[in-house]
Amino acid sequence: ETGVTQTPRHLVMGMTNKKSLKCEQHLGHNAMYWYKQSAKKPLELMFVYNFKEQTENNSVPSRFSPECPNSSHLFLHLHTLQPEDSALYLCASSQDFIGFGLKEKLFFGSGTQLSVL
């Protein structure tokens, strides 16, 4: 148990659907992240929030919309996705932004496996 919980574990959606992924961390961390894991590709950073403020948008298409209402919760809203968006979406947190301190490390959730039909 890492202290980072993601729901749902699996999601199948059509290209016209709207759905949301949820992440909650119980660690008292200030930074939260969304990562995408596509087949045979490295983990790819999508968004970073530090103290609820978005500090990084890694050129992610607007059909992915993040929301961070407080430092414990992070959402990823999905709409009009494409089949190539099918992937594992991982949430992570760290005490402070990973680049701020030499001892910072990421705590990951188990991910949401997304299939877009």
Partner 1 sequence: ILNVEQSPQSLHVQEGDSTNFTCSFPSSNFYALHWYRWETAKSPEALFVMTLNGDEKKKGRISATLNTKEGYSYLYIKGSQPEDSATYLCALLMNRDDKIIFGKGTRLHILP
Contacts with partner 1, 51-90, as mask; x by CB under 8 A: -----x-x-------------------------------x
H helices present in 1-117, as ranges:
none
Minimum CB separation of residue 48 from partner 1 in Å reads 7
User: Which residue, among 26, 20, 40, 11, has the nearest Cα to 109 in the 3D structure?
Assistant: 26
Note whether 107 and 29 are within 8 A (CB).
Answer: yes
- Residue 17 CA to residue 19 CA, distance in Å, equals 6
Binding mask 20-49 for partner 1 (x = CB under 8 A): --------------------xxxxxx--x-
Amino acid in the structure at residue 87 = A
Binding site for partner 1 (CB under 8 A): 2, 4, 40-45, 48, 56, 58, 90, 97-100, 102-111
